[in-house]
């Protein structure tokens, strides 16, 4: 028997044994893990990924939770066209500058057989009068639509979100973190006043922050971007920034105060409460499948994924330890009420009784997949009224009594959610350093990584010079940082506040 299994499972076993460690090569570890854990893989189309079922089920959980929070704050979903006429892009000068260089362009609408019958060619007679851009973001097509939806203050605020795919022709792509096509949500709102729009942008940032911390278990810094890092067409870009295990920062979500830029570009005015025609104020905000990358990079280890229970597709896996079918039956009888109890708490439980896989293979498999809790139960446990429980985050093994197992597991899952967050927070705190001198700055960025809190003179020039010399950028100008007099770490000029630097994805 064993031999046959080894042959059949050979492929999978090799795959599992081979996960590169984070220390060996963090980047390689990440790529291997994403593929081997069944999250995503590269496709035949340059830069586009296939999101595999296990990965997609995690994304669905993220989407459903965010969607619930958007709706609870008064937003509605809608759907706008995939294509954007080229001329729309030209209307907002900064916006087009930001996206023209990575635009996938549809130029024709028909294929035809080659004259020699050797295949297909683009039909030159089916050339579009105006080229269409596959949306990299939808401000332009949406604001062109809002023009007809907004007449008076009674139509405001307009609070709309869209779940969609977008395309940005990136040259260097990585699964989830940077792909030519990705999935995201993009909120686009219109308001009567500047204050209303800023409040909305801040509200959505807050929703992103809470989601990142309470669901992804990733602590994030919030703040505004410097001018150079702003969204193309925004007056202010708010962001949440997370720290990955390799000491690099990752921008996990952005919320933009767009001022009246798009209202002016698309001539969207409204009759205000005083009977005057005014331009509308706007925001847009989005998170994407990039969050999947953040999730993997924040918590996972050399054995595989570590998933926070709130986003895990399977919460508990139960592995019966048996040799004979009769033993399995006895185990099942004991286990069924446990499964039902866990399910009654809304938990997803997998009972893996596959006799063709060894328990050891299963343990490794579910560790790779990041299932938060694993129970093993065998003959001896039946006799002792016990269950072996292993939590994925620490890999700690404990023997539990069967008596109160459902409550105990539910509590353990809460502990795991909290512990994953605490661990990430501790890591971030250990890797956030205040520095005062330029030598110190370079040393930390180069040799230690992580966030650096340093004074900056507020100029674009200094920001660029710092980036040239160290590749570190200003991740955010923290909104909650206290005023503090100091000197710019690079130029020595006076500064009133520290900003957050890091190398980033």
**CA–CA separation, 334 and 336 (whole Å):** 6
Q: Is 3 exposed, middle or buried (0-12, 13-18, 19+ CB in 10 A)?
A: exposed
Comparing CB distances to its own copies, the nearer of 45 and 496 is: 45
Comparing CB distances to its own copies, the nearer of 157 and 378 is: 157
Comparing CB distances to its own copies, the nearer of 91 and 391 is: 91
The pair phi, psi for residue 278, each rounded to 5°, is: -130, 155
**CA–CA separation, 122 and 216 (whole Å):** 45
**CA–CA separation, 157 and 162 (whole Å):** 16
Comparing CB distances to its own copies, the nearer of 265 and 477 is: 265
Are 246 and 240 in contact by the 8 Å Cβ rule? The answer is no
**CA–CA separation, 432 and 452 (whole Å):** 6
- Least Å from the CB of residue 262 to its own copies: 15
- Least Å from the CB of residue 87 to its own copies: 7
- Least Å from the CB of residue 61 to its own copies: 12
Comparing CB distances to its own copies, the nearer of 136 and 219 is: 136
- Least Å from the CB of residue 79 to its own copies: 4
Cis peptide before 157 (omega within 30 of 0): yes
**CA–CA separation, 280 and 193 (whole Å):** 7
Q: What is the CA radius of gyration of the chain?
A: 26
Q: Is 440 helix (H, G, I), strand (E, B) or coil?
A: helix
Q: Are strands 281-288 and 349-351 parallel, antiparallel or unpaired?
A: unpaired
- Least Å from the CB of residue 146 to its own copies: 10
Comparing CB distances to its own copies, the nearer of 98 and 309 is: 98
**CA–CA separation, 6 and 9 (whole Å):** 5
Comparing CB distances to its own copies, the nearer of 225 and 362 is: 362
Q: Which residues bind its own copies (CB under 8 A)?
A: 8, 11, 43-45, 48-53, 56-57, 60, 76-90, 96, 100-113, 119-120, 122, 131-134, 141, 144-145, 151-152, 154, 160, 164-165, 167, 169, 181, 183
């Amino acid at each position: 028997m064993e031999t046959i299994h080894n042959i059949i499972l050979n492929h999978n076993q090799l795959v599992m044994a081979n996960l590169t460690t984070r220390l060996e090569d963090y980047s390689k570890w990440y790529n291997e893990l994403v593929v081997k854990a069944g999250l995503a893989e590269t496709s035949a189309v340059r830069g586009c990924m296939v999101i595999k079922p296990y990965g997609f089920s995690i994304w669905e959980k993220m989407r459903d939770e965010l969607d619930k929070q958007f709706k609870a704050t008064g937003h509605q979903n809608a759907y706008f066209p995939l294509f954007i006429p080229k001329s729309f892009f030209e209307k907002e000068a900064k916006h087009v500058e930001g996206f023209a260089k990575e635009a996938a362009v549809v130029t024709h609408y028909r294929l035809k057989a080659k004259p020699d019958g050797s295949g297909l060619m683009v039909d030159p007679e089916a050339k579009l009068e105006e080229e269409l851009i596959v949306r990299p973001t939808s401000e332009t097509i949406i604001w062109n639509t809002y023009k007809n939806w907004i007449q008076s203050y009674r139509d405001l605020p307009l609070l709309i979100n869209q779940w969609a795919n977008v395309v940005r022709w990136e040259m260097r792509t990585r699964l989830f973190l940077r792909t030519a096509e990705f999935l995201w949500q993009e909120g686009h709102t219109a308001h009567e006043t500047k204050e209303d729009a800023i409040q909305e942008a801040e509200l959505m940032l807050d929703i992103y922050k809470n989601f990142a911390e309470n669901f992804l278990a990733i602590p994030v810094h919030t703040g505004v971007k410097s001018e150079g890092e702003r969204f193309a067409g925004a007056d202010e870009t708010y962001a949440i920034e997370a720290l990955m295990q390799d000491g690099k920062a990752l921008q996990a979500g952005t919320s933009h105060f767009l001022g009246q830029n798009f209202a002016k570009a698309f001539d969207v005015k409204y009759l205000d409460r005083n009977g005057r025609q005014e331009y509308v104020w706007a925001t847009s905000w989005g998170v994407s499948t990039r969050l999947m990358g953040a999730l993997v990079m924040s918590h996972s280890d050399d054995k595989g994924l570590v998933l926070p229970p709130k986003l895990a597709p399977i919460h508990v896996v139960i592995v019966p330890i048996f040799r004979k079918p009769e033993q399995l039956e006895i185990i099942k009888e004991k286990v069924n009420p446990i499964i039902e109890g866990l399910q009654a708490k809304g938990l997803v439980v997998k009972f893996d009784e596959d006799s063709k896989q060894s328990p050891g293979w299963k343990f490794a498999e579910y560790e790779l997949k990041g299932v938060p809790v694993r129970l093993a139960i065998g003959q001896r446990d039946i006799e002792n009224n016990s269950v072996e429980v292993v939590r994925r985050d620490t890999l700690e093994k404990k023997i539990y009594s069967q008596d109160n197992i459902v409550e105990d597991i539910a509590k353990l899952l809460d502990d795991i959610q909290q512990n994953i967050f605490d661990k990430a927070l501790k890591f971030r705190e250990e890797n956030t350093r205040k520095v005062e001198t330029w030598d110190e700055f370079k040393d930390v960025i180069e040799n230690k990584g992580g966030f650096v809190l340093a004074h900056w003179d507020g100029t674009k020039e200094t920001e660029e010079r710092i980036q040239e010399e160290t590749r570190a950028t200003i991740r955010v100008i923290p909104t909650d940082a206290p005023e503090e007099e100091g000197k710019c770490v690079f130029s020595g000029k006076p500064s009133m506040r520290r900003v957050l630097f890091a190398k980033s994805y």
